[in-house]
Amino acid sequence: MRNIFLISILMLLVSGCGLFSDDPTDDPFDISITESFEMEFPFDASALCPPGQDCSTTPMPSPKPIDLPDVQIPIPIDILAATGSDELKEIAGRLKKVEIESVEYELVNNTLNINSPEFQIYVGPVASTQISGAGTVQLITIPSAPPKTSEKGTAIPKAESLPVASDLFKSLKFSAIGYVDEDVEKGELFPPQGGTTYKLKFNLRFTANPIDQF
């Protein structure tokens, strides 16, 4: 049976347009598709409780700065499974590059009694569980939001991380690691309580060359 690659070639030869890449440096027979997938990072303020502290007490303004433990939340992502795309599966072995079109975020179910922490997203090899792991880079930061509010927006990826991220996405499996580095300043509420969920939607453009199979 003729597959998507042969069909794409015929369309290109007949129409001379449509599936050509917009990038003049690309091969004229490149084809691109856009796919999206979502992920969620549940966050509970109890993860910020310093060792030995009772964080079930009534929150009060802190008389001094308090160091809080860092929080890392790794989630392994299988892009083929997450998108459920047969079209992506068809071109998976011939990907040339993967580009981030946008990353949308939303803060939901926010019961935090403090400003939501800045939530950094790192990406790395699928086995990575720590931001210090080899091949792991910071990709985006979700900004802080006021207590008990819902926020949404579009995060701007770090330009210097895009080449590494593209290679990771080309493998179609990677680890996304949510990272929080939060401290309490003098006068801020302690202990932090409540929780929230950081929701992300990645919109990616996958480029492959159908000629590579022949």
Average pLDDT over residues 116-138: 97
The answer to whether residue 110 sits within a structural domain is yes
The whole-angstrom separation of Cα 180 and Cα 59 is: 20
pLDDT in the model for residue 44 = 97
The answer to whether residue 31 sits within a structural domain is no
The answer to whether residue 198 sits within a structural domain is yes
Residues 42-82: pLDDT tens digits? Answer: 999 999 999 999 999 999 999 999 999 999 999 999 999 99
Residues 147-182: pLDDT tens digits? Answer: 999 999 999 999 999 999 999 999 999 999 999 999
The answer to whether residue 125 sits within a structural domain is yes
Average pLDDT over residues 112-122: 97
The answer to whether residue 145 sits within a structural domain is yes
The answer to whether residue 144 sits within a structural domain is yes
The whole-angstrom separation of Cα 192 and Cα 61 is: 11
Cis peptide before 191 (omega within 30 of 0): yes
The answer to whether residue 21 sits within a structural domain is no
The answer to whether residue 20 sits within a structural domain is no
pLDDT in the model for residue 209 = 83
Average pLDDT over residues 106-127: 97
Average pLDDT over residues 195-201: 98
pLDDT at 196 over 80: yes
What total number of domains does the chain contain? 1
Domain containing residue 90 = 36-206
Q: Compute CA distances 184 → 38, 60, 147, 178, whole Å.
A: 31, 12, 15, 20
The pTM of this model reads 0.85
Average pLDDT over residues 96-114: 97
